[in-house]
């Protein structure tokens, strides 16, 4: 088994940053290479994953000459303000508006560098609903795709159905937010993030549901930059066939597809979240391509 190591941490300059999205401050961290910056990448996180999880990958990316911005979505992680039950954030806020604000901030910080967008799961899902897609020079969507609960393999599908139809709804209604810690699911989430996420994964025409009624117009042809779709062979949450479905949202973008197989890197497993775990860093070179 091989690992990618940062040979010299002094190669990376880390700075805490903040920027506004819809009037709300988002907390982030900027990773700069000590040498010339050949591109700036905005790393949009998966649902319920804090920006700090991506720190090893962002550090590694900076050693490749690519500056990287990570951040926490509004009302979550370092960007949380006040009790979770009072949070008003939605998944649309996260995947569209906060991702747009992060992209605008990165472009202002590095106006002359090519702009990359790296989206993990939710982070790459809603790009077609953002504006100014022509400003993007490259997209890397990792384990990102629209997936219905019926498409998960068993036995994971049983767990997912319980989460969407039993445990999650009860927990969110009783607590006023998704009590992820209590449910041993992960971090707590704003209630509206959970309800929109639930509609996305349980209703095939989710865009017509009340939970998603505020979707802006979708631009299927605005992105013309190269797009790399990275699927993970043992991903039970977003299987490869769901990742390929993202091609339908970007009709003019040149596409490249890659499946990460654990055995190709001497790994026992990678998985949906584990793709960015430093224990699986052997596959990171193939994420970037």
Percent pLDDT > 70 in the chain is 97
pLDDT in tens, 53-85: 999 999 999 999 999 999 999 999 999 999 999
pLDDT in tens, 231-281: 999 999 999 999 999 999 999 999 999 999 999 999 999 999 999 999 999
| Distance (Å, whole) CA 181 – CA 276 | 21
| Inter-residue contact 237 to 153 (CB < 8 Å) | no
DSSP conformation letters of 250-267: -TTS-EEEEEE-GGGGT-
CA dihedral 77, 82, 85, 87 (to 10 degrees): -70
- Does this model's pTM top 0.75? My answer is yes
| Distance (Å, whole) CA 93 – CA 130 | 11
| Distance (Å, whole) CA 228 – CA 230 | 6
pLDDT in tens, 2-36: 455 555 667 899 999 999 999 999 999 999 998 89
| Distance (Å, whole) CA 49 – CA 18 | 18
**pLDDT tops 70 at residue 126:** yes
| Distance (Å, whole) CA 22 – CA 199 | 24
Cα 79 to Cα 19, 24, 176, 280, distances in angstroms? 10, 9, 19, 27
């Amino acid at each position: 088994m091989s690992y990618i190591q940062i040979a010299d941490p002094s190669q990376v300059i880390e700075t805490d940053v903040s920027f506004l999205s819809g009037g709300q401050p988002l907390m982030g961290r900027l990773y700069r290479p000590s040498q010339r910056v050949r591109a700036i990448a905005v790393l949009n996180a998966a649902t319920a994953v804090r920006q700090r999880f991506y720190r090893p990958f962002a550090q590694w990316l900076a050693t490749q000459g690519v500056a990287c911005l990570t951040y926490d979505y509004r009302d979550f992680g370092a960007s949380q303000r006040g009790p979770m039950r009072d949070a008003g954030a939605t998944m649309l806020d996260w995947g569209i508006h906060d991702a747009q604000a992060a992209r605008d901030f990165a472009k202002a910080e590095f106006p002359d560098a090519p702009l990359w967008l790296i989206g993990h799961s939710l982070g790459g899902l809603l790009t077609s609903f953002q504006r100014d897609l022509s400003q993007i020079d490259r997209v890397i969507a990792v384990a990102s795709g629209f997936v219905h609960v019926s498409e998960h393999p068993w036995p994971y599908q049983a767990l997912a159905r319980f989460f969407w139809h039993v445990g999650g709804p009860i927990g969110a209604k009783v607590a006023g937010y998704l009590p992820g810690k209590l449910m041993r699911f992960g971090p707590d989430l704003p209630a509206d993030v959970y309800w929109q996420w639930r509609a996305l994964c349980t209703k095939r025409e989710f865009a017509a549901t009340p939970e998603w009624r505020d979707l802006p117009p979708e631009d299927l042809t605005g992105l013309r930059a190269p797009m790399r779709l990275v699927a993970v062979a043992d991903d039970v949450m977003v299987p490869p066939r769901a990742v390929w479905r993202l091609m339908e949202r970007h009709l003019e973008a040149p596409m490249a597809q890659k499946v990460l197989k654990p055995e190709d890197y001497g790994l026992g497993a990678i998985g949906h979240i584990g793709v960015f775990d430093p224990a699986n860093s052997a596959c990171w070179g193939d994420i970037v391509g």
